[in-house]
Amino acid sequence: MTEILILSASEVKRLVSMRDIVDAVEEAFRAYGKGDARLAPVVLTMVNGHEGEHEIKSGYVEGYSIGTKVVTFYSHNRERYGLPALSGIIVLNDLDDGRPLAVLDGAYITASRTGAAGAVAAKYLARKDSRKVGVIGAGTQGRYQVAALTEVLSIDSVKVYDAVPRSAAKYVEEMQGRYRLEVEKTESPMQALQGADIIITATPSTQPIVHDGWVREGVHINAIGADSPGKQELDPAIVARSKVVVDSAAQCIERGEIQTAVRLGLLRREQIYAELSEIVLGHKTGRIDAREITLFDATGIAVQDITTAYTVYQLAKKEKMGVTINMR
């Protein structure tokens, strides 16, 4: 008999805290760095004519499970259809015998594990006295990056810019109501970054939004939005003068924020300081002094989805949540 546990988005949210997710993602990087994981190449299909993306990420992590995530991203969904931009599922299989174990909503896990990756990076790369955050993009990741940061640093204020002013206004209302933070909407990207200790870029932009002259010494940057070929949020000169840390060197060179700097010859592969897993494992030091600019380029790797989803699955079994179906 093959029983599969089905978990909805609301059940996933009730089961797991952001602290749980940050811990699961840090463990994902640790396993990845130790060689206890194997990842398949990312499959990305641009849905031409519909302004959509279809993506598959898969692999396995020893001590956890096999995992496959299938997601779609349609940036205009909300305004056109009243639907979320991101939707998808994660399928878990038993690592020992391959049996399907669970099917989970993938949108919340994707959003929260991406936020958690930013928090893990900031834990090792941001100055310990970082308090002020500048956010470019008042969407899902603009929220989850800050939510996760509050788990690892004593953040007290956020400035946010979005090209759609009403989105920034809604962000301020929601984030002030949820966290003990001073949240302010700004009229320009430059204003959002003034005085920031940590910069978060979380847009689907294909051209620079953040200019080199706006980035001061000692800042940490979580570059989140560039996750497919052609996307870019930072002036390449920023990349060239930063200590660059990536989630996956191969992925980031092809599809991350650093892709443009690499193409222009401003950054060579050997100039990438580290993959985040190397720093988590202690093989390399994170921030060395208060003046350096650190940059985390995040494209998202399957180990993050697998450890997070498996954590949710174990909690669901413990709490007897979800619906079980018999496939035979």
Domain ranges of the chain: 3-109+303-326, 126-299
What does pTM read for this prediction?
0.94
Q: Judge contact between 324 and 3, C-beta under 8 A.
A: yes
What is the predicted pLDDT for the residue at 59? 97
The whole-number pLDDT of residue 27 equals 98
Cβ atoms of 185 and 207 within 8 Å: the answer is: no
57, 69, 123, 231: which is the annotated catalytic residue?
69
pLDDT in tens, the chain (328 residues): 589 999 999 999 999 999 999 999 999 999 999 999 999 999 999 999 898 999 999 999 999 999 999 999 998 888 899 998 889 999 999 999 999 999 999 999 999 999 999 999 999 999 999 999 999 999 999 999 999 999 999 999 999 999 999 999 999 999 998 999 999 999 999 999 999 999 999 999 999 999 999 999 999 999 999 998 999 999 999 999 999 999 999 999 999 999 999 999 999 999 999 999 999 999 999 999 999 999 999 999 999 999 999 999 999 999 999 999 987 7
- Would you identify the CATH topology of the domain 126-299? Rossmann fold (3.40.50)
Any idea which fold 3-109+303-326 has? ornithine cyclodeaminase, domain 1 (3.30.1780)
The token pair that represents 219 in the structure block: 């800042």
pLDDT of residue 79: 85
**pLDDT value of position 201:** 98
Dist CA 34 CA 31 (whole Å):
5
Q: Is 69 considered catalytic here?
A: yes
Residue 3 bridge partners (DSSP): 326
pLDDT of amino acid 1: 58
Instruction: Please check whether residue 298 is in contact with residue 222, taking contact to mean a CB–CB distance below 8 angstroms.
Output: yes
60: Cβ contacts below 8 Å, ≥ 6 apart: 37, 38, 66, 67, 95, 306
C-alpha 289/C-alpha 10 separation (Å) is 42
